[in-house]
Amino acid sequence: MSNNDEVLVDVHGVDRVFRRGSEEIHVLQKLDLQVRRGEFLALMGPSGSGKSTLLNLIGGLDRPSSGTVAIGGERIDGLNDRELAAWRARHVGLVFQFYNLLPVLNAQKNVELPLLLTSLSATQRRDHAAAALEIVGLKDRNTSFPSQLSGGEQQRVGIARAIVTDPTILLCDEPTGDLDQKSGDEILSLLQALNREQGKTIIMVTHDPHASARATRTVYLNKGRLLAEKPE
Amino acid sequence: MKFAGLVWSNLKRRKLRTALTILSVLVAFLLFGFLGAIKQALVGGVDLSDANRLIVRHRVSIIQMLPLAYMDRIGRIPGVVSVTPFIWFNGIYQDPKNFFGSFPVDPVGLLDMYPEISLPAAQRKAWLETRTGAVVGRGLVDRFGWKIGDRIPLVSPIWPKGGASDTWEFEIVGIYDAGRKGADTSGFYFRYDYFDEARQQGKGSIGWYGVRVDSPDHAAAISRAIDNEFANSPAETKSESEGAFAQGFVQQFGDIAAIVLAILAAVFFTILLVAGNTMAQSVRERTNELGVLKAIGFSNERVLGIVLAESFVIAALGGILGLALALVLVAAFAPSLATYLPGFFLPPKQLVAGAGLVVVLGLVAGILPALSAMRLRIAEALRRSA
């Protein structure tokens, strides 16, 4: 039984510095953030504020220059590449702005991709992927290739791929950024349902106040720091 | 195996490019197989040579004759097991372009010396009983459509026949097969006694001797002993192992192995560039997808393995199809080339070398793109696509 007061994501004193020649760019500065299990957190801020960088750190796609990142009590900032890859496969579902489906695979095979890293049999993989596609309402489009799907449908496949391994946390980087209003609303409703009905912890980067309104909490980032309240 | 579908799907991404790359690899391996068969035909005699056998010829040149009387003297040298004479007859059948090797021989000596000449016992008996009898290789019989009992007229510019006609007439009494793969079946052998009696000139002389010795370890010493036996005589000898003789013969064409190697090296270097370029392009085109694979948990090593597997599949498909096609074509051409290139076949060791080359090609063509895929940083790969 999960405890909804339990801190799932604990980012503490994190700096992320990029070097461009001799110049140092401080994308994140002494950042602290805690996210409780079962939260649907919207991460907002202007371009270049460090939202995606923070998401990458939480998702184990990048490592902080200093500070700590712990997910479910497990420090991930010190893991090596191989350990981090295995950790991502077990704990993280990623939803991208541009869907990032593999064009050479149909919807079913795209959703099965993360399952290739598990010990499931081919039949089990097929069944799991079918179930995930059913959750996102695309059960009948499993043989369609990305080029045969609308943007909204592709993003649904992307979400199915993200949830098929039943990850600890779902990280969405502007999931409605490339969609029209109607499709965007459908995707947000789907994410909301996953959060409410299945208790998925979701962190969503967005520029869109309409999207952040669906979240249970919104935090604002500016110049690599979290703001105490919504900026004017 | 569960990643095989992913590897195969990636290869199907640009079907035409993949197909053309596989085709170019196929052509390279077809050439590899064909040149291997040609090399086998040219140098195969060296491989087939028997370390127990020596060739004794005139010291000046093989076209200088030796006395038949040497046979007994060679036979008395310690370590010599048997001796048999040969002569280059240069028989022409109907037209000068119908060229093949024809030799007056001692039937018993020949069959004893060359067990790889496989002749049914009844035909051997017939040969011993028929003075004008000839034993002909299967390749030659197939070439001209001859059969046992046919009478074959030959003319020799070297050895005119005495009497009213200068045409030699032989009766085919036997057809021999190769007892060992690659052995020559284009020979035409007939009896020395008939030849020596009927030739106009040079009676009592022969071209060279085949000598069987008791042990390969003694071959060098026996060679020296034979040459010493005839030192300072009007017809001094040069004795060497059958392998060295065959090697010397082949080297009249140049160093075949080096030529073949040079051609293949050039071809495979080009193919390496073609296949390597295909893999590099393929990786560049899907930086984003590789980034996604890593993001969802594929390790660096697994991504390296997937790209390398694609490279191996291209090399393996092209290589296996190329070698298979070479095998089929070499077998198809072998009968018609039997008289010009006896022993024209694809030896198993060439296939093994081909398989090794497939692995090397797959690895070398794929390793750099695979390493660059492995080193991709996820955030950067995803950013590039956005």
Please write the tens of the pLDDT for every residue from B229-241: 999 998 999 998 8
CA distance A153 to chain B (A): 18
What is the pLDDT at residue B97?
80
Dmax of chain B from CA atoms? Answer: 97
* CA distance readout (Å), B186 to B48, B95, B123, B137, B329: 15, 17, 17, 5, 20
- Closest Cα in chain B, distance from residue A100 (Å): 7
Asked if A122 lies within 8 A of B2 by C-beta distance, the reply is yes
Which residues in B lie closer than 8 A to residue A161 (C-beta atoms)?
A: 296
Name the E strands within B179-320: 187-191, 205-206, 208-213, 237-241
- Is the Cβ–Cβ distance between B226 and B56 less than 8 Å? yes
The token pair at B103 is: 């030799």
Nearest to B102 by CA among B94, B92, B112: B92
Which pLDDT band, with edges at 50, 70 and 90, does A85 fall under?
Answer: very high
pLDDT digits (tens, 9 = 90+) for B39-63: 887 776 555 567 788 999 999 988 8
In this predicted structure, the answer to whether residue B337 has a pLDDT above a threshold of 90 is no
In DSSP terms, which residues pair with B136 in a beta bridge?
Answer: B175, B188
**Tell me, what's the pLDDT at B130?**
94
- Strands B187-191 and B101-105 turn out to be parallel
Report the interhelical angle of B15-48 vs B348-375 (nearest 10°). Answer: 140
Q: Chain A partners of B294 at a C-beta cutoff of 8 Å?
A: 85
More confident: B256 or A217: A217
**Rounded-to-integer distance, Cα A191 and Cα B351, Å:** 58
| Domains along the sequence of chain A with CATH | 39-63+80-227 (3.40.50.300)
Average pLDDT rounded to a whole number, residues B263-290: 90
Whether B295 has a pLDDT exceeding 80, the answer reads: yes
Residue B176 has pLDDT above 60, yes or no: yes
* A201-205 vs A169-173, strand pairing mode: parallel
Statement: the pTM of the whole predicted model exceeds 0.80: no
- B365 vs chain A: nearest CA distance in angstroms? 23
- Res A206 pLDDT > 60: yes
Q: Where are the domains of chain B?
A: 4-45+254-383, 49-251
Length of chain A: 232
Burial class (CB in 10 A: 0-12, 13-18, 19+), B5: middle
**What's the rounded Cα separation, in Å, for the pair B270 and B221?**
49
- The predicted structure's pLDDT at residue A53: 93
Helix axes B256-285, B300-337, angle to 10 degrees: 140
Q: Report the gap between the CA of B307 and the closest CA in chain A (Å).
A: 15
What does the block give as tokens for B77? 């040298």
Residues B115-158: tens digit of each pLDDT = 888 899 999 999 999 999 999 998 889 889 999 999 999 999 88
**Residue entry with tokens 């119908």:** B98
A53, A56, A104 member nearest B13 (Cβ): A104
Q: Which of A24-38, B107-121, B188-202, B341-355 has the lowest mean pLDDT?
A: B341-355
In this prediction the ipTM stands at 0.92
What average pLDDT does this structure show over B187-211?
91
Chain A nearest CA to B318, separation (Å): 22
Mutation site, A116, A170, A178, interface B, largest B CB count within 10 A: A116
Q: What pLDDT does A227 receive?
A: 87
Contact B285, B35 (CB under 8 A): no
Task: Please give the Cα distance from B87 to B202 (Å, whole number).
Answer: 11
* pLDDT score for A71: 96
Predicted confidence at residue B241, as pLDDT, reads 85
pLDDT of residue B385: 55
A120-161: pLDDT as tens digits = 999 999 999 999 999 999 999 999 999 999 999 999 999 999
Q: What is the pLDDT of residue B261?
A: 83
- Beta-carbon separation of B299 and A85 below 8 A: yes
Q: If pLDDT is split at 50, 70 and 90, which confidence band does A1 have?
A: very low
Q: Do A96 and B292 touch (CB under 8 A)?
A: yes
Using only the alpha carbons of chain B, give its radius of gyration. Answer: 29
Q: Of the ranges A33-42, A82-91, B91-100, B325-334, which one carries the lowest mean pLDDT score?
A: B91-100
The residue with tokens 């010795």 is: B213
Taking only residues 283 to 302 of chain B, the set having a beta carbon closer than 8 angstroms to any beta carbon of chain A reads 288-289, 292-302
Give B346's pLDDT tier (boundaries 50, 70, 90): confident
Contacts of B288 (CB under 8 A, 6+ apart): A100, B381, B382, B384, B385
Please list every residue in chain A whose beta carbon sits closer than 8 Å to the beta carbon of residue B288.
100
- Does the structure show a pLDDT above 60 at A3? no
Query: What is the chain A residue with the closest CA to B295?
Result: A61
The Cα-based distances of B12 to A104, B334, B358 in angstroms read 8, 37, 20
Q: Looking at the predicted structure, is the pLDDT value of residue A231 above 70? A: no
pLDDT exceeds 60 at position B178: yes
Tell me how far apart the terminal alpha carbons of chain B are, to the nearest angstrom. Answer: 32
Q: Is the pLDDT of residue B331 over 70?
A: yes
- When pLDDT is cut at 50, 70 and 90, the band that residue B242 belongs to is confident
